[in-house]
Chains A and B, each alone.
Chain A
Amino acid sequence: MQPTKSVECDGANGLRMFYSPSCAFVFATAILLAACFSSCARKESVKRKHLPPPVEADISGLPPGQHGGVFIQTSPGEPNTFNPLVSEDATSGSAIGLMLEGLTRYDPVREKVVPGLAKSWEIAPDMRTHTFRLREGVCWSDGHPLTADDVVFSFAAIYDQRFPNRGASDQTVDGHPHKIEKVDALTIRITAADTYAPFLQTIGWAPILPKHALQKNFDDGTLMKAWNIGEAIRNPDSIVASGPFLLHSFRPGERIVFKPNPHYWRADSAGKRLPYVDFVIMRFVKDFSASTVAFASGQCDAESITPDNVAWVKKSAALHDFTIHERGPSPNSSFIWFNQNPGKNKDGKPFVPAHKLKWFQNKKFRQAVSYGIDRRGIIDGVLFGRGTPLWGPETPANAKWFNPSIRQYNYSPKEAMKLLNEAGFKLDSNARLVDAENNPVSFALNTNQENPIRQNMATVFRENMKTLGIEVQLQFLDFGTFVSKIQDSFDYEAGLLGFTGGGDPAGGKAIYLSSGRLHQWNPCQPKPATEWEARIDALMNKQVKTLDENERKRLWGEVQEIMAEEQPFIYLITPNAYAGLKNKWKNIEVPRIGSIIWNLDEMFLAP
């Protein structure tokens, strides 16, 4: 015992000795921290270079503002690339969209194609030859003139087999690429293989690339490796832009800072060159929730808000001075469908048991299920009332193309039962629904587990079906598993999924054509299995070849009617869309569909 005691009393000395350097460390840290706090408030003012706008600048129709301000947005996920040929995700796409422009642009508020890099165009009487005239005096961000050579170069790159890219098929008609000819330094003639209704819109999706900067990569076949994120980190200026912004810096895992392109080709009515803001910061966050939280706590300037989050985000609207704009129904559909694929797998087993396939192929069965769904109940229960029932492929958001007079299936178990009886189904003594051969009606509904709203909708659906005596088993799968089931192995009975719609009906080819990859009830048919599918094929093919917009509306309207009548997809609801924006920004124009900051170049800070 004694040694211990002596250790204790001497240990006190030791403690003092040992602790002194450590104390110094703590002290130093404290000083360092204090210094940090003081430095945080510091903001550097930035000098901008103002060049006179080009001769044929595009003049904004919105009220003029003044330069200045930093616009902060958050993004779940970060760009994988700054090369439009490589990009295949929304985040890369939106970053590239700030920097590169196409020949035409689309104004989502006025729902029409407006001039982009091309000032004007003419369509020849053959309805497929388009002559585009570029703006005079427009330069790339490095001061190099933008000419017809850049356009020819861009299309050569898009069509080149060495560079497989997502956008190439957009720039084809019936699988044929357009013919691109340079007429003079500022004139381009583009000939499509056939008349193609959305031509002017889709041609704008092809980003015009700077030939002077990328020719070398094109020649030696390294174009897909150009403008990668390594390049963006080391040498942001090498990514030459024609859009409103260019890269200032990119820090992976943290943020991108964009600065204004001093050579951007748009100006306001007072002759000031756009964009107004000094910097755009795209901050990366973990996921959509983190992004919403960042907006609700005032850390960013704009955010799309899902219906289930509106109520709590609204609470801090006054504190952080923002407004939540109601955009009405979103273009996102959600639907349930039955697997009607009559095929067999490799072992000769049918994808769907024969008796179930018979129900699924029966229109009256599908219509009865549709009558049995309480869509109002889903909206109230899952979306707190912030949604709209959906009856067909187009949501009311796409006002131009939406057909309001299609068949509706308002909740009516009585109507459902009537149809089921007509189709030979009846209730047995246990109140279970059985078919004509006395097979109890039950099926498994799959949806992806990452989406809680879909899971909740599936749960309501199961309860609704119980009322009809139908037993539904719910299976929540990983998205990857689910997609491989519906596209490769086809071993499932029913699915619940959604599409992001909106835009031109030509975009629905993969879904509505019977040969389509996403024609999910029975995809990739060599020839249409039913008469109504053949009719849809004919209508879809005809509407892309018709330039008269009213005629197109009629044709697409009929497709919507058939889809509503036949119910291959039993449409459920569409959530309403909301956009939050800080009030300090002016010239805000929130469109019904698409990015809420599509006109970021015209937005300015209130004085």
Chain B
Amino acid sequence: MLLGISLLVFFLMNLAPGDFLTPIKAQRDISPEYIASLEKEFGLNEPWYWQYALWLKHVAACDFGYSWSYKIPVTELLAQRAPATLLLSLCSLVFSWLIAIPLGVVAAIYKGSIFDRATSWLAYFSLSLPEFFLALLAVYFAAQTGWFPTGGLTSFDFEFLSLAGQLKDMAWHLVLPTVVMGVGNVAALMRVMRANFLDSIRAEFVTAARSKGLSENQIMFRHVLRNAINPLITTLGFSFSSLLSGALLVENVMNYPGLGQLTYQAFLREDAFVVLGAVVLGSLMLVAGNLLADLLLAWSDPRIRHEK
């Protein structure tokens, strides 16, 4: 799969007009010798499949190549940006689970009530809002009220703050991107949670538990919740895969210094190895995420373990 994806990306980038050297070719004070020497250095004078083969050979030796514009190894470049994206994704994941699960449960328990209808309506509304639009709204909100920063991860005086001050500063910057990234997820998770919970409530084991005289609290939160949450654990695996790649649009709109911003700029500049590195990283996370989801499910649901 990784091979296929990287091949496709390489091919598509080759189809895109121009290459990394196009912008400097249009400048008047660049000598043709310099352009020729760069072309040779980057292998841009070779056909694309040959460039791909060379890249693959290096990757096999765990060398993802150098970024042409930054002149540092791609792995180092990705490592610089990955923590910020990871932080944002984790925050939004925690945020969406903490909000979605209780809301879903309550909506299921009070099925048909005003609360249920209001949350369903809100869920559909937020599902239909594209993330980047929400991000624009958030930036506008921040600019109008001044309550939150309009972008970035740290303030100007970050380096001069104490450790506690730095943490606060980052948390303050994280609020809006977290909410923006999380809202769509909250809606989806909440709807799934509600449906699962309703299914489980109607299951026979609930009647059995009631007839044994267990309290409603015990039934709902020990038995029903545990059964209803299983499908969500699979989603967790998918969320894991998007930890490093899911924030491309939001990062660009909100000027957040993460991988998405780097990848987007590298793509515009046709800095091929950086784009490939980011894509491979994203795909690796997807594979790892699926594995993780299966393992988690096996851990939480004894039926899956015992089938073997």
Contact = CB atoms under 8 A, between A and B. Distances in A.
Given A13-B217, A15-B106, 7 more contacts: A6-B216, A32-B168, A39-B161, A44-B160, A46-B160, A169-B34, A508-B28
A507 B29 contact: yes
Nearest to A517: B32
B71 A225 contact: yes
Given A36-B172, A253-B84, A479-B18, A8 B109 contact: yes
Contacts of A518: 26, 28
A252 interface: yes
A297 B151 CA distance: 14
Given A22-B102, A72-B156, A480 B22 contact: yes
A483 B110 contact: no
Contact of A481 (B17, B172, B206, B221): B17
5 contacts: A3-B210, A7-B109, A10-B215, A81-B69, A477-B17
A251 B17 contact: no
Nearest to B261: A253
A230 B157 contact: no
Closest 8 CB pairs of A and B: A480-B18, A253-B257, A10-B216, A44-B160, A169-B31, A481-B17, A36-B172, A11-B109
A40 interface: yes
B86 to A, nearest CB: 14
Interface string A213-244: 00000000000110011100100000000000
A477 B159 CA distance: 44
A253 B81 contact: yes
A411 B232 CA distance: 70
Given A230-B72, A249-B159, A508-B28, A164 B143 contact: no
Interface of B: 16-19, 22-26, 28-34, 37-38, 41, 69-72, 76-77, 80-81, 84, 98, 102, 105-106, 109-111, 143, 147, 152-161, 165, 168-169, 171-172, 175, 201, 206-207, 210, 215-217, 220-221, 252, 255-258, 261-262, 265, 270
Contacts of A252: 80-81, 257, 262
B159 to A, nearest CB: 5
A229 B257 CA distance: 14
Interface in A79-128: 80-81, 83, 86, 88-89
Contact of B28 (A35, A297, A510): A510
Most A C-beta atoms less than 10 A away, residue of B29, B34, B84: B29
A483 B25 contact: yes
Contact of B105 (A18, A46, A224, A507): A18
B238 to A, nearest CB: 24
Contacts of A283: 156
A165 B37 CA distance: 9
A419 to B, nearest CB: 31
B219 to A, nearest CB: 9
A315 interface: no
Contacts of B175: 33
Contact of B18 (A3, A22, A35, A478): A478
